[in-house]
């Protein structure tokens, strides 16, 4: 008799979402007239330069320090604050309209989205530590910025603040609520463009928080079925632009997705769910059809090639659905923004990679939906098997372009470290689009080659291909494998997000990918 595994093994029930509810506003208020808890000022190393009398030369800091009796200059000298990236100094003050003032370093210069997202995260940490309810952000160098850049800068800071303030405490017995309620952006303008961009930041931040909650959820809670339920809930909440279809195991068999079924059908008590979420604009014609495909392994044991040893990271393998989370977080943000002229298909072959007497074995041969056969020489390279059938399915929808996101290889982390995703595409136009979107979002991508000669190492003696090659160039051969399942007339990019999807130091999800995907979609919208 089959053993029934309870859907919430361990009697765990998640508490309510602790997604921050922060109001953002752009104001022309003078910093000395702002009333609230924490006034945060972003500074470069140039801004904190002092004259021979230990006075700031920057006009904003000079004015601020004048009412503080030189306290900021004195404290910054004593604490060796020089404006370097990551440095911060926060002081409790009295007799002014704000309770605390802080300087936050940006380094030698600050003109990248990544720098401003980081600034927002640093300010959020200070706001959380001081239990600030209200916060204002100003830049000491705002006079040097172009008017066109200011809305984007404010947006990046706002996204960083939400990401930094969010604390996923749904699984704690004594959760603490986030107290920050309002953020005023000072000195960057207050027109329609600024208001629109801050609203955009809230939509993107909401998508990022959603992803982080999905990826943080343990595998005894977020099963493939529960992931599908979360997607159905998104579709219901945004039914004016989103629709969803969930395929069960019998339907997956009918679609001949043998590569996907090989991973999941016989080895787990939690059945697979093939998820197709579709965005259609609220009005107008569609000029571009896009596909976003995410790896959705809700837990990866490695199968018979079991992850073992201290460096196997099996305890973090709930994050193996980070690619799926990213595309659904982007879907949530896009449903709020409602871009015109673009149709988007979000596709995930969700399942677990577990072990049983009937599970997939090394040397088994599986057949993908396009008829290609794969000899499985490593059951821990399961994500690409699921992605293969998902890519075939998405191409059949008639899309023009596809991006797939996957926590696919440790080789990519070795190559690029924990903070940078690898980007693979044979298409120069798509490469330019996505890398530009990443730069605008502040997320870090690096394009790696698709070296066709490496495909020789993926040849099987008995099937069309192996599912893994040698350890050298493992991220490249993984991309080459996926390429076999994409139509030649479809522009395609593979993003290996194995590193940046997870903050190892804090052991939490990052929500990586959402910002870049939303920017890319808007680039393709009319």
Residues acting as catalytic residues: 307, 384
Among left, alpha and beta (phi > 0; psi -120 to 50; other), residue 250 is alpha
Rounded CA-CA distance 285/279 in Å is 13
Rounded CA-CA distance 123/490 in Å is 43
Residue with tokens 């790896």: 295
Strands 445-447 and 502-503: unpaired
> Where in 114-234 does DSSP place strands (E)?
134-139, 182-186
Token pair for 417: 């470290």
Supply the DSSP symbol for 369: T
- CB neighbours of 491 closer than 8 A, spacing ≥ 6? 400, 401, 402, 425, 427, 429, 430
Look at the chain and count its residues. 526
Supply the DSSP symbol for 42: E
Yes or no: say if 407 and 319 are a contact pair by the CB < 8 Å rule. Answer: yes
SS (H, E, C) 312-368: CCHHHHHHHHHHHHHHHHHHHHHHHHCCCCEEEEEEEEEEEECCCCCCCCCCCEEEC
HSE-up (13 A, CA, CB side) for residue 115: 18
Supply the DSSP symbol for 300: E
């Amino acid at each position: 008799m089959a053993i029934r595994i309870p859907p919430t093994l361990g009697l765990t029930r998640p508490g309510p979402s602790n997604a921050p509810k922060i109001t953002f506003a752009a104001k022309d208020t003078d910093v000395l007239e702002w009333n609230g808890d924490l006034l945060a000022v972003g500074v470069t190393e140039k801004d904190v330069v002092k004259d021979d009398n230990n006075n700031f030369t920057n006009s904003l800091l000079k004015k601020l320090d004048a009412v503080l009796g030189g306290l900021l200059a004195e404290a910054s000298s004593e604490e060796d604050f020089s404006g370097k990236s990551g440095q911060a100094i926060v002081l409790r003050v009295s007799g002014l309209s704000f309770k605390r003032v802080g300087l936050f370093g940006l380094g030698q210069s600050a003109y990248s989205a990544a720098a401003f997202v980081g600034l927002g995260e640093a300010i959020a940490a200070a706001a959380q530590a001081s239990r600030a309810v209200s916060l204002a952000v100003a830049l000491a160098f705002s006079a040097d910025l172009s008017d066109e850049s200011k809305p984007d800068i404010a947006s990046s800071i706002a996204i960083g603040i939400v990401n930094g303030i969010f604390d996923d405490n749904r699984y704690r017995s004594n959760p603490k609520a986030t107290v920050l309620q309002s953020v005023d952006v000072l000195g960057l303008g207050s027109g329609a463009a600024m208001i629109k961009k801050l609203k955009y930041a809230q939509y993107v931040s909401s998508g990022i928080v959603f992803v982080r909650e999905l990826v943080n959820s343990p595998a005894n809670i977020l099963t493939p079925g529960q992931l599908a339920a979360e997607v159905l809930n998104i579709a219901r909440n945004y039914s004016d632009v989103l629709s969803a279809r969930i395929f069960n195991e019998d339907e997956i068999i009918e679609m001949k997705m043998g590569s996907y079924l090989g991973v999941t059908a016989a080895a787990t008590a939690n059945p697979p769910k093939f998820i197709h979420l579709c965005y259609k604009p609220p009005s107008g014609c569609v000029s571009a059809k896009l596909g976003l495909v995410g790896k959705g392994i809700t837990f990866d044991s490695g199968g018979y090639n079991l992850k073992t040893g201290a460096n196997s990271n099996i305890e973090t393998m709930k994050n193996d659905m980070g690619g799926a989370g990213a595309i659904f977080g982007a879907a949530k943000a896009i449903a709020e923004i409602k871009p015109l002229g673009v149709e988007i298909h979000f596709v995930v072959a969700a399942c677990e990679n577990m072990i049983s007497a009937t599970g997939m074995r090394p040397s088994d041969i599986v057949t993908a939906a396009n008829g290609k056969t794969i000899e499985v020489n490593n059951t821990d390279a399961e994500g690409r098997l699921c992605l293969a059938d998902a890519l075939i399915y998405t191409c059949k929808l008639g899309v023009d372009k596809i991006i797939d996101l996957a926590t696919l290889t440790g080789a990519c982390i070795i190559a690029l470290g924990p903070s940078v995703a690898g980007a693979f595409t044979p298409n120069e136009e798509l490469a330019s689009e996505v890398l530009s979107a990443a730069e605008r979002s502040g997320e870090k991508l690096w394009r790696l080659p698709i070296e066709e000669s490496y495909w020789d190492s993926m040849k099987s003696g008995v099937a069309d291909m192996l599912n893994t090659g040698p350890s050298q160039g493992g991220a490249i051969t993984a991309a080459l494998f996926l390429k076999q399942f994409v139509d030649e007339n479809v522009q395609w990019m593979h993003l290996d997000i194995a590193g940046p999807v997870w903050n190892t130091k804090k052991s939490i999800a990052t929500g990586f990918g959402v910002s870049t995907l939303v920017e890319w979609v808007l680039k393709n919208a009319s």
